[in-house]
Structure 1
Amino acid sequence: MKKSKKNGYKPGKKRNQSKNINGKKHSAMPSQKGDKSQGKPSTTNKRQGNKKAVTAEVTCTGLTNEGKGIVQWKGKQLEVEYLLPGETAEITVSTSGRYVHPELKRVITSSKDRIQPPCSYYFECGGCQLQHMNEQAQEDFKQETIDELMKPFGKPEPILTMDHPYDYRNKSHTTFGLNKERQIIGGLYAQNSHQLISMDRCLIHDPKADEIWQTIKDMMKSFKMQPYNEDTGRGFLRHVLVKVGKVSGEIMVVLVVASPIFKGKNNFVKALRKAHPEITTILMNVNNRKTSMVLGDQEQVLFGKGTITDTLCGMKFDISAKSFYQINPVQTEKLYTKAIEMAQLTGTETVIDAYCGIGTIGLIASQKAGKVSGVELNKDAVRDAIRNSKRNGVKNARFYQGDSGEFMVEMAARGEKADVVIMDPPRSGSDEAFLSSVVQLKPERIVYVSCNPVTQVRDMKYLVQNGYKVKGIQPVDMFPQTVHVENIAEMVLESN
């Protein structure tokens, strides 16, 4: 982008520029009627309230791990959304006691890395944080983030990026509500809020998923389906969850409802299938609790077999409504291929797949291992893993419901050995109890797959202090347009 003229680039001002994605043009800024903010992050006025606000001119010197611009103001370091290194900008700073909230007002001098966000809802939604950066800048940001975090352990390999960094999410869920005119709207909640943003397309969702929920929204009035209201507890349809098999083309639609009484459900299913014959299964999930959880416990199949199938690294997996399956299968193949390469399997090794989920990485590793034991607390996921093992004719993998750490401690107590532990914990990382059990079992090699490199660093330090050294580090961009980055670490016993 060229340098701004006198008025500068205003993130809250609608621009005429647009970018062509998949043959469709999307305006650079939101253009919803009646939205006076026209693209300003929706939290602005609520945050400021009656607080004092001043204007300041600042220069961005770097980025935080969350992609926010770092600036200095009155001796304080502030973090400003949508600001890039090297840019000068005008910001407003609201203060109340110790609370300081900066907001970008306009960019005076723009970075060469700045682009117009292709998504119309970017400044409202908050689900993506990097769309104002070009692809190279996003890659550099994520690489530098991992390089800095991993400094104590060595130099990471170049990040594995995605050729087409849009349309990748194979799972999406949409919420419904009423606008001021009492018309049904559908979309996503703004980040860290329950303000529903009416939208027709999310550029990182599978396009077919967005088409389906739009159809459902249009059908709701004729079927007298009211969107659920969290405040009053009234209404019927809470969410629509769509899962897409990127290879198989199979599609699951889950109607998350507040009551099991669904009048006209047969006709609804018939009409939805007529509009979208590509749908292979439809479920009704009942969630009548006042909770932020999307899915409830009660489930009923309305059409099809209740699951879909997809292929990953040459193996087929059954995916249920509740089962965890990697969101970006294109990048997952790169992630798993690299992880198994780091495991250096020759066909004889005993492998522990900790936090195994539905068995994806363990089953893929079984093709090159002697024996695989997958361990997972979630009993539904273990059931899926066993079914997936049978589907693929795998004879050398077993899956167990339980705590992975306790499983390894019991192995060590019996004098059993594991050559490799593959671990893929949640964002919170592993706890010391789990890590100590790994150390007690003493596998020759650990492959640590992380969706949160910050907690991965903490865990790696513990393992290094207890006899392991880091042999390889590989970041993978699993979630383009967002600040999230996954990272794989290969660790071996010091004696090796």
Structure 2
Amino acid sequence: MNKRKNNRYKKSGEKHTRREKQSGKQHPAQLGRTNGKAAGRQKTVTAKVTCSGLTDEGKGIVQWEGKKLEVEHLLPGETAELAVSQKGRHTRTELKRIIKPSDERVKPPCDYYDECGGCQLQHMNNQAQTRFKQETVDALMQPFGKPEPILTMEHPYDYRNKSHTTFGPNKERQVIGGLYAQNTHEIIPIDRCLIHDPKADEIVQTIKGIMKSSKLQPYDEDTGHGFLRHVLIKVGKTSGEIMVVLVAASPVFQGKKNVVKALREAHPEITTLLLNVNKRNTSMVLGDEEKVLFGKGTIMDTLCGLTFDISAKSFYQINPGQTEKLYEKAMEMAELTGKETVIDAYCGIGTIGLIASRKASRVIGVELNNDAVRDAIHNSKRNGVKNARFYQGDAGEFMVQMAARGEKADVVMMDPPRNGSDEAFLSSVVKLQPERVVYVSCNPQTQAQNLKYLEKNGYSVEEIQPVDMFPQTTHVECCVSLVRNSN
């Protein structure tokens, strides 16, 4: 799942500050309610329905007055009472009461589950979550073959090695920090997210206390005033090293020495602390300006026996335990014997390519992000890898140029963004004619679209392996191997 997964973490946040001013959408808890001028135009009725199935987003499917409706947190076979609101051509639903619950329903362990929206499946037991993801991948991949059973986690919590907390003031101008409610800029104050690393959440709580005692102001999106916007934390699950990034609206950090001292005294396990300055009014969390306040500015972690330096901006898979299963499967699909030339497209900081280098003749990594390429070169040297080279550029153009020079690659390994690869990139793979393609994706839907192109242009799908990288959410990773047709 390269670079850009889990939508909730693009702008993570918390409760009861922002008034959905940018999205204009209601929070799920408000659906079906009417007030003010809207009351005269919005009709809300109570409906008794039975759920017949689930959407790809894990919402229950029901029929009501000839319409197909989607209902959050409703399971197949359940009978429920809904509030159905109609305003013009738009129909919204709110789950009011479960009349006949499913045997697979469980009480969500998270106190913020109904408000947050970051996890979508906590009301299902583990078996139901696994079946939902398996069936989703099976349906998408049906044209290409039968997927293998999904690889799951024994403990499907506490797995995220990266967490992002948004700060702001509440109505009483007090400091709050947490996650944005789904589709809004309303911060939900959260003390503990059950899929975060527990230590990361402890550090955030400490930062909240330091802000109050030091009178350090949170950033207010409405006024543009204040200092602290976000806190990004990365944890080396193997090394135990911890990075804390304070994302501020200004480089002027009043009381910096005292804040750094207090945080280090409370959490000596923090190995590096950074200040990132983001003055832009965008959904991007990190800005371009960065200063190391303590430590070396990066953390180290181990993956598949190799060590990697991880910077604030570098992409690194958020679930290392499941990532090892995913990458081990990808290497198995590549069928490397020590003679192959491998291209690691979208190489990031070099994780897949460097792991492949142990069984390949040579590896060529290509990545647009120059900082990531620099990290990949550093990680190559760190691990003593002599047969891997990393280049900054467009991977598709790079492969077209290779083909034009008559150069060959035996295996292309690709891990594109959520929106998949475009036709220009896929056509470059076809031009280069590798014997095998190993396609890792965090979005099987766009992956299936790309597989259609590759099958039409000389490749056949050989194996499909889903991996549950993101328990409690609807997201699923999928690794697919393709082989070039002989005629």
For normalisation by structure 1, the TM-score amounts to 0.91
Match of 1:106 in 2: 97
SS of corresponding position for 1:280: strand
Q: How does 1:326-345 map to 2 (within 5 A)?
A: 326-345=317-336
Q: What is the CA distance between 1:44 and its match in structure 2?
A: 2.4
Q: What is the CA distance between 1:43 and its match in structure 2?
A: 4.2
Match of 1:68 in 2: 59
Q: What is the CA distance between 1:176 and its match in structure 2?
A: 1.4
Structure-2 separation of matches of 1:151 and 1:236 = 51
User: Would the aligned equivalents of 2:362 and 2:387 in 1 still touch at CA under 8 Å?
Assistant: yes
Match of 2:6 in 1: none
Structure-1 separation of matches of 2:282 and 2:422 = 27
Are 2:281 and 1:294 aligned?
no
Of structures 1 and 2, the one with the larger relative CO (CA 8 A, separation 6+) is: 2
Counterpart of 2:81, as a letter, is E
Deviations 1:41-81 (A, max 9, x none): 34426788431111111111110110000111111111110
Q: What is the CA distance between 1:179 and its match in structure 2?
A: 2.0
Match of 1:167 in 2: 158
Match of 1:41 in 2: 28
1:425 is aligned, of 397, 413, 416, to 416
Are 2:228 and 1:228 aligned?
no
Counterpart of 1:267, as a letter, is N
Q: Which runs of 5+ in 2 are unaligned?
A: 1-14, 17-26
1:400 is aligned, of 384, 391, 401, to 391
Q: How does 1:75-86 map to 2 (within 5 A)?
A: 75-86=66-77
User: Would the aligned equivalents of 1:324 and 1:357 in 2 still touch at CA under 8 Å?
Assistant: yes
Structure-2 separation of matches of 1:169 and 1:45 = 34
Q: 1:47 to 1:459 in 2, by over 3 A?
A: farther
SS of corresponding position for 1:457: helix
Structure-1 separation of matches of 2:196 and 2:235 = 10
Q: What is the CA distance between 1:221 and its match in structure 2?
A: 1.9
* Segments of 4+ moved more than 4 angstroms: 45-49
Percent identity, aligned pairs only, is 76
Structure-2 separation of matches of 1:119 and 1:99 = 30
Q: How does 1:261-340 map to 2 (within 5 A)?
A: 261-340=252-331
Structure-1 separation of matches of 2:180 and 2:150 = 30
Structure-1 separation of matches of 2:203 and 2:266 = 9
Q: Which runs of 5+ in 1 are unaligned?
A: 1-31, 34-39
Q: What is the CA distance between 1:181 and its match in structure 2?
A: 2.5
Q: What is the CA distance between 1:159 and its match in structure 2?
A: 0.1
User: Would the aligned equivalents of 1:42 and 1:190 in 2 still touch at CA under 8 Å?
Assistant: no
Structure-1 separation of matches of 2:33 and 2:96 = 16
Match of 1:415 in 2: 406
Match of 2:373 in 1: 382
Structure-2 separation of matches of 1:225 and 1:211 = 19
Q: What is the CA distance between 1:103 and its match in structure 2?
A: 1.8
Match of 1:127 in 2: 118
Match of 2:248 in 1: 257
Structure-2 separation of matches of 1:44 and 1:70 = 17
Q: What is the CA distance between 1:268 and its match in structure 2?
A: 1.1
Q: What is the CA distance between 1:96 and its match in structure 2?
A: 1.5
Structure-2 separation of matches of 1:252 and 1:271 = 16
Structure-2 separation of matches of 1:84 and 1:199 = 26
Are 2:127 and 1:136 aligned?
yes
Match of 1:461 in 2: 452
Q: Count how many residue pairs are aligned between Structure 1 and Structure 2.
A: 459
Q: 1:382 to 1:47 in 2, by over 3 A?
A: farther
**CA RMSD, 1 decimal:** 1.4
Counterpart of 1:179, as a letter, is N
Match of 1:59 in 2: 50
User: Would the aligned equivalents of 1:176 and 1:238 in 2 still touch at CA under 8 Å?
Assistant: yes
Counterpart of 1:41, as a letter, is P
Counterpart of 2:28, as a letter, is P
1:117 is aligned, of 108, 122, 129, to 108
For normalisation by structure 2, the TM-score amounts to 0.93
2:185 is aligned, of 175, 194, 199, to 194
Deviations 1:425-483 (A, max 9, x none): 00000000000000000000000001100000100000000010010000000000000
User: Would the aligned equivalents of 2:231 and 2:246 in 1 still touch at CA under 8 Å?
Assistant: yes
Are 2:79 and 1:88 aligned?
yes
User: Would the aligned equivalents of 1:156 and 1:473 in 2 still touch at CA under 8 Å?
Assistant: yes
SS of corresponding position for 1:488: strand
Q: 1:268 to 1:45 in 2, by over 3 A?
A: farther
Counterpart of 2:74, as a letter, is L
User: Would the aligned equivalents of 1:423 and 1:447 in 2 still touch at CA under 8 Å?
Assistant: yes
Q: 1:47 to 1:234 in 2, by over 3 A?
A: farther
User: Would the aligned equivalents of 2:396 and 2:425 in 1 still touch at CA under 8 Å?
Assistant: yes
Counterpart of 2:120, as a letter, is Q
Structure-2 separation of matches of 1:41 and 1:165 = 25
Counterpart of 1:273, as a letter, is R
